[in-house]
Amino acid sequence: MINELFKKRRSIRKYDPSKIVSDDLIKQLLEAGMCAPSACNTRPWEFIVIKNDELIHKITEIHPYTQMIKTSQCAIIVVGLPNNQVNLPGANMWPQDCAAATENILLQATEFNLGSCWCGIYPTDRVAKFQSLLDLPSHKIPFNVIAIGYTAEKFGSRGFYEESKVKWLK
Ligand SMILES: Cc1cc2nc3c(=O)[nH]c(=O)nc-3n(C[C@H](O)[C@H](O)[C@H](O)COP(=O)(O)O)c2cc1C
């Protein structure tokens, strides 16, 4: 049997605004993220933790599909660092590495009974808008916004096994 966490994790878009996730829990989520594998162990990521109402409002203006962070009141921005991989066999693999770190964060959040939602930034034209909002240089690429909070909605599992997606070569 696979771990229940994989099925329990869902994208949560309504949070209880009376409860704010502690910095200690956020730090543990980031630790889980930083345990992810990365090409040539380059760890091409940084994380920006946002708990500031004004910034949260500005994010929802430049990324309309992040409205849920108004109730979660906490968001993590995963930032990719392509320069960590220049001239290495792992060059340009940073999006995969950032995705791996993101999934670790989502699953650890689920384990803590927190809701989360992955909201993509890269590779859309929102990258430049986030760089400007967060005062990031061009070599630091905002990859996604992860909403983190105490959930105000419950869903059943969406994950399932699909044999048609698998080709066995034995
Ligand atoms: C790369 C990526 C980008 C996504 N962007 C958004 C987004 O901008 N806003 C949002 O509400 N959900 C976003 N999602 C969440 C998906 O809509 C969600 O994962 C999908 O519908 C499956 O539902 P589940 O996560 O509850 O299993 C994104 C997910 C991924 C992996």
Q: 56: which residues sit within 8 A by CB, 6+ positions away?
A: 50, 69, 70, 73, 75
Asked if 104 and 88 touch (Cβ cutoff 8 Å), the reply is no
Looking at the domain assignment, is residue 170 inside a domain?
no
Looking at the domain assignment, is residue 16 inside a domain?
yes
Closest residue by Cα to atom 3, ligand 1, is: 120
Please give the model's pTM, rounded to 2 decimal places. Answer: 0.98
- Range(s) of the domain holding residue 145: 11-154
How many CB atoms sit inside 10 A of residue 32's CB? 19
Mean pLDDT of all residues in the chain? 97
CA of 68 to the centre of ligand 1 (A): 12
Provide the CATH number for the domain around residue 29.
3.40.109.10
Looking at the domain assignment, is residue 43 inside a domain?
yes
Residues in the ligand 1 pocket, defined by CB under 6 Å: 10-11, 13, 65, 117-120, 158
Closest residue by Cα to atom 31, ligand 1, is: 118
Token pair of 47 as six digits = 């994380």
Closest residue by Cα to atom 2, ligand 1, is: 120
Q: What is the pLDDT of residue 24?
A: 98
Looking at the domain assignment, is residue 160 inside a domain?
no
Q: What is the mean pLDDT of residues 26-42?
A: 98
Looking at the domain assignment, is residue 163 inside a domain?
no
Residue 98: pLDDT band (50, 70, 90) is very high
| Residue 118 parent element (H or E) | strand 115-120
Q: What is the mean pLDDT of residues 13-28?
A: 97
Looking at the domain assignment, is residue 161 inside a domain?
no
What's the structural domain count of the chain? Answer: 1
Q: What is the mean pLDDT of residues 5-23?
A: 97
The Cα 31–Cα 46 span in angstroms is 12
Looking at the domain assignment, is residue 169 inside a domain?
no
Tokens 């059943």 identify what position?
A: 156
Q: What is the mean pLDDT of residues 42-52?
A: 98
Looking at the domain assignment, is residue 165 inside a domain?
no
Asked if 85 and 40 touch (Cβ cutoff 8 Å), the reply is yes
Residue 28: pLDDT band (50, 70, 90) is very high
CA of 79 to the centre of ligand 1 (A): 18
CA of 118 to the centre of ligand 1 (A): 6
How many CB atoms sit inside 10 A of residue 33's CB? 22
Express each pLDDT in 108-154 by its tens digit: 999 999 999 999 999 999 999 999 999 999 999 999 999 999 999 99
β-pair partners for 141? 80
